[in-house]
Chains A and B, each alone.
Chain A
Amino acid sequence: MGVYSKPVLFAVLSAAVILVGTVVTVFIPMLMPSTQPVSDYVKPYTAVELEGRDLYIREGCNNCHTQTVRPLRTEVLRYGEYSKPEEFAYDRPFLWGSRRTGPDLNRVGGKYPDSWHYKHMQSPQGMFEKSNMPPYGWLAEARLDTRYTRKKISILGYGYSPDEVSAQIEAYKAKVTDAAYESKQSRDEVTPEELRGELTEMDAIIAYMQKLGRDVKNLEAER
């Protein structure tokens, strides 16, 4: 009975059968630029934001937080403008998530001041008694590792020169360690004394939080 007594032919036929749907729904869209459009208003992550994003990945934040606002009335009311494909052009990997134990974060940038995030990361339960988010105080106790930042930026093709990467890191460090930093008090409360003059992992993940949805909000403000 033909193919049912020829295992190699059977395997080839199976491969062909599974590849039809794969080619049509995955490979062909990948070759169409319209699947992942690129727009000028969406800016790549800065060096510190990217390091923050990698910490978001390391801690598995995507297991509880989504980053896609769906075009539904109550969702737009709760989070803001729904997510557009061009916003994700620089996202490798994507971080849309699949489960909302915590709220969506795609529009969290600019929603709260840095001080809010420092306090909340340190003790979510201190801010919201009924929250079940793990506390992330340890992020403030670790110096941000920037040894690979230049290599990461070059792999991702964000187009910054090595000097620009260093300048971005120094600029952000200068911002959060400045005596006039508006969230200085909260930052000092969570950061051990010896790291207050350094960039910590907490600083970076908060920089990333503030980037999420910022370009869309800037575009809205311009209009």
Chain B
Amino acid sequence: MKESPYEYQVVRGFTFSALFWLIVGLIVGLWIAFEMFYPALNLTPWLSFGRLRVVHTNGLGLGFGLAGIFACSYYILQKLTRTPLVFPRLARAHLYLFNAIIVMAALTLMAGMNTTKEYAELEWPLDIAVVVMWVMFAVNVFATLIKRREKQLYVSLWYIIAMTVTIAVLYIVNNLEVPVNLFKSYSLYAGVNDANVEWWYGHNIVGFIFTIPILAMFYYFLPVSTGLPLFSHRLSIISFWSLIFAYLWTGAHHLMLSPVPEWIQTVAIAFSIFLIAPSWGSVVNGYYTLQGNWEQIRSNYLVKFFILGITFYGLQTFQGPTQGLRTLNSFFHFTDWVVGHVHMGTMGWVTLTISASFYYMIPKISNNQLHSIRIANVHFWLILVGQLIWTVTMWIGGIQQGAMWKATEPDGSLTYNFLDALASLYPYYKLRFAGGVVYFVGIVLFVWNIIMTIRTAKNQPLNANKEV
């Protein structure tokens, strides 16, 4: 890209990486969804559910999610600072190291090298590589911010800074472990403390990967793709500080009614409820940005991605705190309801927002127009419908499962044994798989659309200023 002084090669590299890991992660997801009602699919040790589930979560969370975040962060960072990346070669090394880590992660997890701490399953040599990779990213972020040509930092940059700092703290503290050999280590913490550290990490890794950088994308790409200024910058200030303050207190809502001290659980409930406020602050900011221009939801194909995305974020951040309440938690915890909750966030909010961000960003950096708006629209409807089938099925299944676990006879004995409840879920598991297939087809269209946009770029006249 000789035309632009910005470093776009690494943005494109991370975009391709994100799309690749998205497809891989979803295929693994479909495979384990099938195993849930057809256990004969556990063909070999490395294809067994216990090992493959973490390949799915790491492949999509770290592979797809992080690559999408790096792509968009490098783009947003340069645009909002009006400064090219200070160390473009370092950024390219970051890209290679990132993909090497994800490949090694998939292989080692399938080989059973796994610390079991959710979303931190990688063994210690890979943990060190992740920290090195993160430092490479942080160096570019801060160097570019310091060298910037735009005085004020816009909201999106605050979120990128907060992510950079917080992920480093979370990752290092939760992954402190004592190596036995190259492939095996033991956590530094024991029992209750290990659980408390893990869910402080687990909850906040969701917050600072699936919320905060995605909000950075939302706050940047919604205004630039609509041409409408953000509704309120000062509301975003209040939302930002209260969000990052309150998030870190809430990990123990994953450990409700467990042996973790009761006061930690109670404090977590209180802050979880409070978190509705800053979360909805961002939702309100998004909706009101479109005030008076709602016709764009029809005329601008990107708006519906952002608006549905932020709507799922709003639903997610309401559903989450309610699940944390002790009474509801005693019913829903450990059931498929929670699985549905997670996937509304990831398949709804995160994927819709990253999709739209790529749709805006890739034509811009390729000096091209999007390959097909029509395909983008079909992609939108397929992933929306696929996600809804998926999540609603799991919520209904979760309610049924919770009710069957709790059902008692008049004499006080249990009505159902454990297997009755499991067997009753198989129809839902099949429907969930069908929803996943619909979603997957939508994602294949998305990947095709982006690849075609980049591939046809060379044949198109350069008209960078033309709006999509």
Contact = CB atoms under 8 A, between A and B. Distances in A.
| Chains A, B in direct contact (C-beta < 8 Å) | yes
Contacts of A89: 190-191
Nearest to A58: B112
A92 B116 contact: no
B301 interface: no
Given A21-B248, A58-B114, A101-B422, A155 B180 contact: yes
A92 B180 CA distance: 13
Interface stretch (A69-77, A109-117, A184-192, A211-219): A69-77
Interface string B397-418: 0000000011110001110001
B146 A35 contact: no
A83 B165 CA distance: 36
Given A58-B112, A84-B259, A91-B190, A148 B180 contact: yes
B114 A36 contact: no
Interface string A10-27: 110011011111101110
Interface string A78-98: 100001110111111111111
Interface residues of B, number: 93
B245 A18 contact: yes
Contact of A88 (B51, B112, B116, B259): B259
A96 B419 contact: no
B192 A85 contact: yes
A175 interface: no
Contacts of A20: 245, 248
B335 interface: yes
A5 B258 contact: no
Contact of B164 (A11, A101, A132): A11
Interface stretch (B31-39, B85-93, B443-451): B31-39
B77 to A, nearest CB: 11
Given A17-B244, A134-B35, A78 B418 contact: yes
Interface string B24-43: 00000000000111110010
A59 B48 contact: yes
A130 B335 CA distance: 18
Interface of B: 35-39, 42, 45, 48-51, 53-54, 112-118, 142, 145-146, 148, 151-153, 157-158, 161-162, 164-166, 169, 173, 178, 180-181, 184, 186-198, 200, 241, 244-252, 254-255, 257-261, 264, 267-268, 271, 330, 333-335, 338-339, 405-408, 412-414, 418-419, 422-423, 426
Given A34-B261, A57-B116, 4 more contacts: A11-B164, A17-B241, A59-B48, A74-B407
